[in-house]
Structure 1
Amino acid sequence: MIQDTIQAETSDISVIICAYTERRWDDLAAAVSSVQQQTLPAREIIVVIDHNPQLFNKAQTDLTGIAVIQNQEERGLSGARNSGVAIAQGQFIAFLDDDALADANWLMLFQQVLQDPHILGVGGSVVPLWIDHNPSWLPEEFYWVVGCTYLGMPQNNAPIRNPIGASMCLRREIFESVGGFRSGIGRIGTRPIGCEETELCIRASQHWPARQFFYQPQARVQHRVPGQRAQWSYFWSRCYAEGISKAFITRYVGTKDALSSENTYTFHTLPQGVTRNIKSVFTQHNPGSLLKAIAIITGLGVTAGGYIIGRLFSRKNE
Structure 2
Amino acid sequence: MKVSVILPTKDRGPAIAETIESLLELDFPVEAHEVVIVDNLSSPENQKQLQGFATDHSDRIKYVREPKLGLCNARNCGIEYSQGEILVFLDDDAIVPKYWLTNIIKPFEDPQVFAVGGKVIAQYTTPPPDWIDKRLGMYISNFDHGEELLQLFYNEYPRGANMAFRRTAFAKIGLFLDCFDRKGNSLMSYGDIEICYRVEQAGYKVMYVPDAEILHLIRGDRLNQEWFQRRFYWQGRSEGLFELLHFGRKHILKKLPNHLKQSFTGDRYDQLHHRGFMVAILLNFFRQKFE
Q: Shorter-chain-normalised TM-score: which range?
A: 0.7 to 0.9
Residue 125 of structure 2 contacts residue 217 of structure 2 at CA under 8 Å; is this kept in 1? yes
Question: Which of 178, 184, 189 matches 1:183?
Answer: 178
Runs of 5+ unmatched residues, structure 1: 1-10, 260-295
| TM-score (norm: length of structure 1) | 0.77
Query: Which residue number in structure 1 is paired with residue 17 of structure 2?
Result: 29
Question: Which of 79, 84, 99 matches 1:85?
Answer: 79
Residue 14 of structure 1 contacts residue 43 of structure 1 at CA under 8 Å; is this kept in 2? yes
Query: Which residue number in structure 1 is paired with residue 148 of structure 2?
Result: 156
Q: How many positions carry a matched residue from both structures?
A: 264
Q: 1:142 to 1:217 in 2, by over 3 A?
A: farther
The CA distance in 1 between the partners of 2:41 and 2:66, in whole Å, is 6
Does the alignment pair 1:49 with 2:24? Answer: no
Query: Which residue number in structure 1 is paired with residue 276 of structure 2?
Result: 306
The CA distance in 1 between the partners of 2:143 and 2:136, in whole Å, is 9
Query: Which residue number in structure 1 is paired with residue 163 of structure 2?
Result: 168
User: If each structure's helix is expressed as a fraction of its own residues, which one has the higher value?
Assistant: 1
The CA distance in 2 between the partners of 1:252 and 1:317, in whole Å, is 10
| TM-score (norm: length of structure 2) | 0.84
Q: 1:297 to 1:217 in 2, by over 3 A?
A: farther
Question: Which of 59, 65, 77 matches 1:70?
Answer: 65
What secondary structure is seen at the aligned counterpart in 1 of 2:69?
Answer: coil
Q: 1:189 to 1:98 in 2, by over 3 A?
A: farther
Q: Percent identity?
A: 24
Residue 244 of structure 1 contacts residue 307 of structure 1 at CA under 8 Å; is this kept in 2? yes
The CA distance in 1 between the partners of 2:150 and 2:189, in whole Å, is 23
Q: CA deviation at 1:154?
A: 5.2
Query: Which residue number in structure 1 is paired with residue 258 of structure 2?
Result: none
Q: CA deviation at 1:47?
A: 0.2
Query: Which residue number in structure 1 is paired with residue 238 of structure 2?
Result: 245
Cα RMSD after superposing both structures = 2.3
Query: Which residue number in structure 2 is paired with residue 115 of structure 1?
Result: 109
The CA distance in 2 between the partners of 1:196 and 1:98, in whole Å, is 16
